[in-house]
Amino acid sequence: MFDIRHLRVAYGERTIISDLSVQPLQTGTVTALLGPNGSGKSTLLKALAGLTRISGGQVLLDDQDLTSASFETRARQVVYLPQSLPAAVHLRVFESVLVAANASTFADGGSASVAAVQSLLERLGIGHLAMQYLDSLSGGQKQLVGLAQAMIRRPRLLLLDEPLSALDLNYQFHVMDLLNQETRENGLITVIVLHDLNIALRHADYTLMIRKGELIAEGSPREVISPSSLADVYGVVGRVEPCSRGIPQVLIDGLHNPIH
């Protein structure tokens, strides 16, 4: 399980997350992290990954406090994919994923094989890009390679900050389907920042909704995403109604109140 207790994150005198606690996140589940721009989603992921200093509280993975763990221990168990990827180097896609896999030892002491790398690239739909150079790829293709670099390491905790932002509809659905499959089969705990509430409704097991660094609601997507939360958190008038196949979807009718 992954447990966040009374987490506080501040930049100098400015508090971004004041006192955030959530119910333990379970192995084999995908959690959608939702909230408007500037709500602290990226800061939260960076804090969980150990990239932003935590001012207070605990981050526990199977009762091990990651806030006091060594860099090596955290790196073996936690992988973070940022919203903005670093500048591409002149390296082939296949090589970059293999390097990412072997940069740190897997939790079970194994390492990635050539076959494992190629298999993951194929499942992500980018096997044909294996011999292409990173600096020749489009934004969406680079995002998919970043996902491959994160997933090949098979961490205990996978933190993804808007990994779908540059992907078309086909790849968005494909990636979420694959993330769910990998999360369940390999016993991961995946936390993913999403702006598309319909993707969260369809693909997430659990949902955390935050605003101004505070947890507003948590639970199943169908419990959390509601007309009242759309109004309170996003400032819009909306409905959540089933489509012809019975899958809930968000419909926005207008603005409720401006968000301050």
Instruction: Domains for the chain: give ranges and CATH numbers.
Output: 2-225 (3.40.50.300), 226-260 (no CATH)
**What pTM was estimated for this model as a whole?**
0.93
Does the pLDDT value for residue 258 go beyond 80? no
Burial of 114 (0-12, 13-18, 19+ CB in 10 A): exposed
Maximum distance among all alpha carbons in the chain? 53
Q: Which residue has the higher pLDDT, 104 or 228?
A: 228
Return d(Cα 231, Cα 253) in angstroms, integer. 11
Helix (H, G, I), strand (E, B) or coil at 139: helix
Element (H, E) at 127: none
Q: At what angle do helices 139-151 and 93-102 cross, to 10 degrees?
A: 30
CA 186 to chain centre: 16
Q: What digits encode the pLDDT tens for the residues 188-228?
A: 999 999 999 999 999 999 999 999 999 999 999 999 999 99
pLDDT band at 252 (very low <50, low <70, confident <90, very high): very high
Give pLDDT tens digits for 147-200: 999 999 989 999 999 999 999 999 999 999 999 999 999 999 999 999 999 999
The answer, yes or no, to whether residue 108 has pLDDT greater than 50, is no
Share of the chain above pLDDT 70, in %: 95
